[in-house]
Amino acid sequence: MTEITVNVNGAPRTASVEARRTLADFLRDDLDLTGTHVGCEHGVCGACTVIVDGRPVRSCLMLAVQAAGHDVTTIEGLAPDGVLGPLQQAMRDSHSFQCGFCTPGFVMQATAFLGAHPDAGEQEIREALSGNICRCTKPTWGATYDSDRGSALHRLQRQAL
C-alpha cells in the first residue's frame, strides 16, 4: 500500500492505495465520488473522463498513484454546492442524453476543451468530443450538438467557465 495525497475538487484527499488501483476506482470506491462512471475499462468510451491539472484524462487508464500531488476535478466538482454548472445545465435544458451513463464523461471532456478553446467552432467541438461514446443515441457526441443545434455548447461558450 502506498499513501497518496490528491487534490480532488479543490480539497486534499489522502488515502492508502494499492499501486495497481486505477484513479477511477480510487475516486469511486475510496472517495465515494460515484459520478465518474466506468464503462469499457479500456479508455475507449470516455465515461470515466476527469480533469487532471486542466487536461481531460481517462481515469480507468491512470493509476491513483500517478495522480498523487495533482489536481483532479470530477463531475461532482463542477457542482460543489449541488447547483449544476453552466455546461451541465445547458445539456440538461437541451435533453442531450437519454440514460445519462455517458454524460459525466462528455461534460468533463467538453469542460476541459472549452476551457482551453472558448472560441472553438462546431467542427472543433465535434472533433474534441469524438472520443466519447453514447450508446443510446449516436456513436459519438452527436446528440449533444444536434439536440438543439449546439445551443448547449454555444451558450456555454458565451459564458465564463
> What's the pLDDT score for residue 126?
83
**Residue 159 binned pLDDT confidence (cut-offs 50, 70, 90):** very low
Q: Give the H/E segment covering residue 4.
A: strand 2-8
**Quick one: CA torsion of 129, 132, 135, 138, rounded to 10 degrees?**
20
> What's the pLDDT score for residue 17?
97
Q: How many Cα neighbours within 13 Å face the side chain of 36?
A: 30
Q: Are residues 130 and 90 in the same domain?
A: yes
Q: How many domains does the chain have?
A: 2
Percent of the chain with pLDDT over 90: 51
Q: Are residues 103 and 38 in the same domain?
A: no
Find out whether 61 and 80 touch, Cβ atoms under 8 Å. Answer: no
pTM for this entry: 0.85
Q: Are residues 56 and 38 in the same domain?
A: yes
- How far is residue 21's CA from residue 17's CA, in Å, rounded to a whole number? 7
- How far is residue 6's CA from residue 64's CA, in Å, rounded to a whole number? 9
The SS3 assignment for 84 reads coil
Domain limits at 69?
2-78
Check pLDDT > 60 for residue 37. Answer: yes
**Residue 137 binned pLDDT confidence (cut-offs 50, 70, 90):** low
Q: Are residues 49 and 97 in the same domain?
A: no
Q: Are residues 54 and 32 in the same domain?
A: yes
Q: Are residues 59 and 105 in the same domain?
A: no
